[in-house]
Amino acid sequence: MDTPAQRSDVRLLDAPFDAAATLAGFTSAQAAAGGIVSFLGQVRLDEGVEALELRHYEPLTRPAMEDLAAQVRARWALEGLLIVHRSGEMAPGEPIVLVAAAARHRRDAFAAADFTMDHLKSESWFWKREKVGGTWRWVEPRAQDFTDIARWQAKAPA
């Protein structure tokens, strides 16, 4: 039987990744799952954004991402969990984050992916900045990011 650690794939990358191929590989390994939910976040072409850069401190970031995966696995009955997050400079259209949750039942998969993304957006271990008009500016989490994560504090596991 798989241990919880074997059912999670947490990747912190500093180079582009092929989201479709990564998701296909994850999906093919989930024969026992009745549902697989995924979310792909990409750099949007918004307000003249020329580039996005994410910085982090690996000795803290990687363990924190693995801890998040453990929290998700403890909260929902999952067959598998995938968290892939980029760092470095990215152009519009490039993938930033891919989260996929596989479960016997769809509600667990949906909730696990949603919870994971809410935590990555508001409690993330990345510093983010955008390049607009040739100038870099730091980006802070939005109020909505904190509202999104707060709803999980009141919810019991599904």
Q: Sign of the CA dihedral 69, 72, 54, 52?
A: positive
Considering only CA atoms, which of 12, 109, 108 is closest in space to residue 57?
Answer: 12
pLDDT in tens, 124-143: 789 999 999 999 999 887 77
pLDDT in tens, 108-126: 999 999 999 999 987 778 9
CATH of the domain at 45: 3.90.1170.40
In this predicted structure, what is the pLDDT of residue 11? Answer: 96
Distance in angstroms (rounded) separating the CA atoms of residues 151 and 51: 31
> For residue 158, is it within any domain?
no
pLDDT in tens, 86-106: 999 999 999 999 999 999 999
Distance in angstroms (rounded) separating the CA atoms of residues 45 and 108: 32
> For residue 9, is it within any domain?
yes
> For residue 67, is it within any domain?
yes
Where do we find the tokens 């596989």? 102
Q: Which domain holds residue 37?
A: 4-152
Total number of domains constituting the chain: 1
